[in-house]
Amino acid sequence: MATKRNPARLSGTSATVLPFGRVRVDPSDHSDHKRIPERILHAPGSVAHGYFEAYDAFAQYTRAVPFAEKGKRTPVSARFTKGASERGLKDMARDARGFAVKFRTDEGNWDLVGNNMPVFFIQDAMKFPDLVYDLKPAPHHGISRAESPHDTFWDFVSLMPESTHMLMWVMSDRAIPRSYRMMQGFGVHTFRLINEQGESVFCKFHWKPLQGTHSLVWDEAVKIADADPDFHRRDLWEAIESGEFPEWELGLQIFTEEQAQGFSFDVLDLTKIVPEELVPITPVGRMVLNRNPDHFFAETEQVAFCKSHMVPGIDFCHHPLLTGRRHSYADTQIARIAGKAGVEPFPDTNDQDRVCGKSEKFAEHYAQAALFYNSQSAVEKAHIAAAFRLELRGVGVPAIRERMLSSLVNVSRELAADVASGLGMQVPDAMPKAITDPEPAEVTVSPALSLKALPGQRGVRTRQIAVLVEQGVHHAPLASIHRALTDAGAVVHFVGSRVGVFVASSGEEIEADRSMESSPGVLFDALVVPDGSDAVQALAGNGHAMAFIKDIFRHCKTILALGAGRELLKMAGMGPVMNEDDGILLAESANAAEVAPAFITAVSGHRHSYHESTSPTK
């Protein structure tokens, strides 16, 4: 995908193009005032601009203008972020990702400030300062393990059973997304929609990516972090620059106050979802992001999202958490940008300091953590257990590990045992629960919560495919695979022991635009191993090539091996499984064109878990 900027995009703005395509928008750029304090949370991130388009008029539920009529377009800016990280840290760390959308409506800005997870750590904003303290680098030496926080975080969550549901999401693969373009977004809170007649219903907002919801696996994320620390931000930028505009469908769960009262959980409790099986999602429109910012500092650093930014037709519910957020965002904007730009945040005049009590249902902490865990595939469950093991291994105080395990017993004994075994510990007694006779949950398994339910509709578009090349590869099969893949919208890279021209067995030249040394296998979604005995021999003697192939296999991505290329798979240890695994396709060179559609289908499946249990290199 192209990375060149299009200066034409700047026409109509006050921006000026400087040498090397740099852009100046803000007159104070490069001056004493260039820096503003970074956000305490969600510091590193990317903004992209575009529009929201309503599928239909939705006036029976809300008078909010973005939903006023079919085809109505509202300009939007979305900011995707890493929740707990400081700026400058790697994109890949395990973390909740921010998903904030600013709708620039005809009646003012509406900020839907959500995450890629539908629940939160705490039920009450009073606990937020402690949570932030525990998520941030250790107070004495300022070191964080980057991928996860330290003892203080696990001390906090193990003492806070209400965090358990969020922990399930954070320990799942959702916390290491493949791309900002491949994340779901959730408004998290229960909002109110109000129509022209003043009638109201409750509502939850869901963003669903057409690109599918896809994740990395941990070993892959760790290696990408070194190979390309800006992986997520680069991916979003390059997709938009190349014209592959990411798109999300907005869906609403709508329910009445009476319905909500009958649920076994409280809809104002942010540690609970409303399962889709209980209230289905109604699609209402789509968001298309089609423009990168012209100026990072002006449009990404200085942009301010605020929960209080609402428009008529959408209102708050008085969550104990939302009330706190409404103060906190305005407060942080004053500290962060008011001094620099003179921006006065929206005053929270609507807030009468109403205090919302918590119903008895808030005391139930485990049913939905179990719902999430029990709705995952076997592989997803294994990844959750592995993440807990990895994280808790880094915890220095044994009592914290023990307490966390005792809390996990309340989610699933199987999970607790799986984690305990990796820590060399016995499964402890279950942590006493705050409530022993909760109302029975309406839904105990929700297939919609597994990534398997979210393949998307974009197939291999923008997927990065590596084709290994060496002197003496067979040219014709690679040319036909290349054609089929690019026609399907994939981005194909020829990867060699170095960049530059390689001469094929029949004399054609193939230019490698990537080298294995600087672009390891983890940066690609799938692999084509070429035919040609001289080439295969050279690749077999190249340590980078063998590591490249093993990583693609280990991370369960699709491999196509042509002709003699099969030998490389055997050398990489795949011999025993290569004929059985649906993620490994084998073909003679003469059949390259015929195998291409099957390869494309397999790549759009993202990962093939068969490898997982059979990988000799796992």
Residues within the interface to ligand HDD (CB under 6 A): 39-42, 45, 79, 81, 98, 100, 113-115, 120, 125, 128, 188, 270, 305, 321, 324-325, 328-329, 332
Residue 10 has, within 13 A of its CA and on its CB side, a CA count of 15
Nearer to ligand HDD, 40 or 278 (CB): 40
Nearer to ligand HDD, 320 or 532 (CB): 320
CA proximity to 548, closest of 573, 579, 517, 574: 517
In whole angstroms, the minimum distance from the beta carbon of 186 to ligand HDD comes to: 7
Report the alpha-carbon distance of residue 280 to residue 203 in Å, rounded: 11
Cβ pair 272, 368 in contact under 8 A: yes
Cβ pair 538, 470 in contact under 8 A: yes
In whole angstroms, the minimum distance from the beta carbon of 363 to ligand HDD comes to: 20
Report the alpha-carbon distance of residue 388 to residue 393 in Å, rounded: 8
Report the alpha-carbon distance of residue 532 to residue 502 in Å, rounded: 13
Residue 237 Ramachandran class (φ > 0 left, ψ -120 to 50 alpha, else beta): alpha
In whole angstroms, the minimum distance from the beta carbon of 477 to ligand HDD comes to: 46
Q: Which of 6, 30, 33, 42 is catalytic?
A: 42
Query: Quick check: is 292 catalytic?
Result: no
Q: Nearest-CB residue to ligand HDD?
A: 98
In whole angstroms, the minimum distance from the beta carbon of 317 to ligand HDD comes to: 12
Element (H, E) at 73: strand 73-82
- Nearest 5°: the CA angle 94, 206, 92 is 15
Q: Which one-letter amino acid corresponds to residue 513?
A: D
Nearer to ligand HDD, 79 or 233 (CB): 79
In whole angstroms, the minimum distance from the beta carbon of 329 to ligand HDD comes to: 4
Cβ pair 113, 307 in contact under 8 A: yes
In whole angstroms, the minimum distance from the beta carbon of 241 to ligand HDD comes to: 21
Q: Which of 30, 33, 49, 115 is catalytic?
A: 115
DSSP secondary structure string for all residues of 438-502:
PPPPS-S--GGGSGGG---S-TTTT-EEEEE--TT--HHHHHHHHHHHHHTT-EEEEEESSSEEE
Report the alpha-carbon distance of residue 446 to residue 430 in Å, rounded: 25
Cβ pair 248, 185 in contact under 8 A: yes
CA proximity to 120, closest of 175, 188, 39, 42: 188
Q: How many CB atoms lie within 10 A of CB 165?
A: 29
Q: What are phi and psi for residue 129, nearest 5 degrees?
A: -55, -40
Nearer to ligand HDD, 114 or 530 (CB): 114
What token pair was written down for 167? 């922990």
In whole angstroms, the minimum distance from the beta carbon of 259 to ligand HDD comes to: 22
Buried b / exposed e over 272-289, threshold 16 CB at 10 Å, is bbbbbebbebeebbbbbb
What distance separates the 2 farthest-apart alpha carbons in the chain?
79
Query: Which residues have C-beta within 8 Å of that of residue 399, sequence separation ≥ 6?
Result: none
Nearer to ligand HDD, 42 or 555 (CB): 42
In whole angstroms, the minimum distance from the beta carbon of 493 to ligand HDD comes to: 32
Report the alpha-carbon distance of residue 91 to residue 220 in Å, rounded: 13
- Nearest 5°: the CA angle 111, 173, 99 is 10
Nearer to ligand HDD, 100 or 225 (CB): 100
Report the alpha-carbon distance of residue 79 to residue 232 in Å, rounded: 12
Nearer to ligand HDD, 98 or 532 (CB): 98
Nearer to ligand HDD, 343 or 499 (CB): 343
- CA 202 to chain CA centroid, Å, is 26
In whole angstroms, the minimum distance from the beta carbon of 114 to ligand HDD comes to: 5
Nearer to ligand HDD, 239 or 270 (CB): 270
Nearer to ligand HDD, 170 or 409 (CB): 170
Query: Quick check: is 115 catalytic?
Result: yes
In whole angstroms, the minimum distance from the beta carbon of 129 to ligand HDD comes to: 8
Nearer to ligand HDD, 125 or 468 (CB): 125
Query: Which residues have C-beta within 8 Å of that of residue 421, sequence separation ≥ 6?
Result: none
Q: Do the bridges between strand 73-82 and strand 491-496 make them parallel or antiparallel, or are there none, so unpaired?
A: unpaired
In whole angstroms, the minimum distance from the beta carbon of 553 to ligand HDD comes to: 36
Query: Which residues have C-beta within 8 Å of that of residue 580, sequence separation ≥ 6?
Result: 610
Active site amino acids: 42, 115
